[in-house]
Chain A
Amino acid sequence: DTGVSQDPRHKITKRGQNVTFRCDPISEHNRLYWYRQTLGQGPEFLTYFQNEAQLEKSRLLSDRFSAERPKGSFSTLEIQRTEQGDSAMYLCASSLGTGRYGYTFGSGTRLTVV
């Protein structure tokens, strides 16, 4: 499978715990994106990387959120001290270059904070 892989698919955590999600992009894609999608809404941009450099962060990405892409391949998104409002689908996508022809999304990680 050469698509975008996300792990885990589902995560249930207690409020206040830290969680980390992983994304493996399509291997030749140099750009990697994180989006968040809440129920009944479209995806909202969080951040993106070109290779290992984080080039842009949304205001949605509070101090409790951090994303890394240490070797320009896979990426991790960590949420510290989770809150119920963090419950959402976290989508990763990748593209070759600027993504002019659209991104390829993964299947997402569904986070539920209880």
Chain B
Amino acid sequence: GQQLNQSPQSMFIQEGEDVSMNCTSSSIFNTWLWYKQDPGEGPVLLIALYKAGELTSNGRLTAQFGITRKDSFLNISASIPSDVGIYFCAGRRETSGSRLTFGEGTQLTVNP
């Protein structure tokens, strides 16, 4: 089963607002990834993080690799309607090879 706790489960915001979501684990991860999934499609990689404390941006998206290596955060600034979708965190542990563990997702709805 899932080992990553992702919150919130869903968010309803107005266009232009900023969004924050996070992912926590009881295990240490050496890579954190954030994906976005649209209905009926596979997840698309947004941001990848490789070092504790790392802060990486991709346009209006910013993600951070937590210092403890057990958490990660994703922020979206100035949301727009096309940001609608499900956002997943995923982590990889040193002992798990190529296997990714995913969170349960955050469903984002943006009202115009």
Separation in Å of the A90 CB from the closest CB of chain B? 10
With A41-B2, A42-B90 as contacts: A98 and B44 at CB distance below 8 Å: no
What band does the interface of chain A fall in when counting residues whose beta carbon is under 8 Å from B?
A: 20 to 34
Separation in Å of the A14 CB from the closest CB of chain B? 23
Beta-carbon contact of B99 and A41 below 8 Å = no
Neighbour of A45 across the interface among B4, B48, B100, CB < 8 A: B100
| A91 interfacial contact with B, CB 8 Å | yes
What band does the interface of chain B fall in when counting residues whose beta carbon is under 8 Å from A?
A: 20 to 34
Beta-carbon contact of B100 and A103 below 8 Å = yes
Chain A minimum-CB-distance residue to B50? A100
| B45 interfacial contact with A, CB 8 Å | yes
Beta-carbon contact of B105 and A108 below 8 Å = no
Q: Which residues of A contact B41 (CB under 8 A)?
A: 107-108
Beta-carbon contact of B48 and A106 below 8 Å = no
Q: Which residues of A contact B105 (CB under 8 A)?
A: 40-42
Task: Indicate with 1 or 0, residue by residue over B12-27, a CB within 8 angstroms of chain A CB atoms.
Answer: 0000000000000000
Complex CA distance for A48 and B96, rounded to whole angstroms: 12
Beta-carbon contact of A56 and B102 below 8 Å = no
| B40 interfacial contact with A, CB 8 Å | yes
For window 61-114 of chain A, which residues contact chain B by CB distance below 8 Å? Answer: 91, 93, 95, 98-108, 110
Neighbour of A108 across the interface among B31, B42, B97, CB < 8 A: B42
* Additional A-B contact list (9), CB under 8 Å, known A40-B105, A55-B97, A100-B31: A43-B43, A44-B102, A45-B100, A56-B97, A102-B33, A103-B100, A104-B45, A107-B41, A108-B42
- CB pairs A–B below 8 angstroms (7 shown): A33-B98, A43-B43, A48-B99, A99-B92, A100-B50, A107-B41, A107-B42
Chain A residues within CB distance 8 Å of chain B = 4, 31, 33, 40-45, 48, 55-56, 58, 91, 93, 95, 98-108, 110
